[in-house]
Amino acid sequence: MAVVTKHASPAVLAGMLGDAIGRFNRRLRQARPVGELTQNQISVLTSLDMAGALTPRELADAERVQPPTMTKVLAKLEERGLVQRTPHPTDGRQVLLSATQAGREVIAEQRRVKDEWLTRTLAGLPAGERETLRQAAEILGRIARQGD
């Protein structure tokens, strides 16, 4: 790990942040309820929950996977009643995919469990560190919006 100084260069800071965010994301994924869904399936459900409805191609692009991979993931989700297909309103060759009520409930449970873990973890930190994280969250949100 890089030597931590009060004023890290952008390159050093980029490495530190990338490592920390990667470890944090892995830990958050571990906090999810144990179930039969894979991380890919959860990601697809989350994308549909956020977008409302997408074509299979749009969903594959959003998830950065090839259409055959997306077809397999969707088949599993449809089997479980978590995703539904409806005809595209303007293109009869297309379908729109959306999360069912059951799919939205799965996502809500995922978020609830993660939020509970994170809330407990943050509650154990000193107030000053929580304030630092609040500021960091604002900055990371701003960075994530760049290019939108």
Indicate if the pLDDT at residue 1 is higher than 50. no
- Confidence label for 4 from pLDDT (cuts 50, 70 and 90): low
The model's pLDDT over 48-84, given as tens digits with 9 standing for 90+, comes to: 999 989 999 999 999 999 999 999 999 999 999 999 9
Domains of the chain: 11-145 (1.10.10.10)
State the Cα–Cα distance between residues 69 and 60, nearest whole angstrom: 8
Q: Are 97 and 85 in contact (CB under 8 A)?
A: yes
Beta bridge partners of 57: none
What DSSP string runs through 21-55?
HHHHHHHHHHTSPP-S--HHHHHHHHHHHHHS-B-
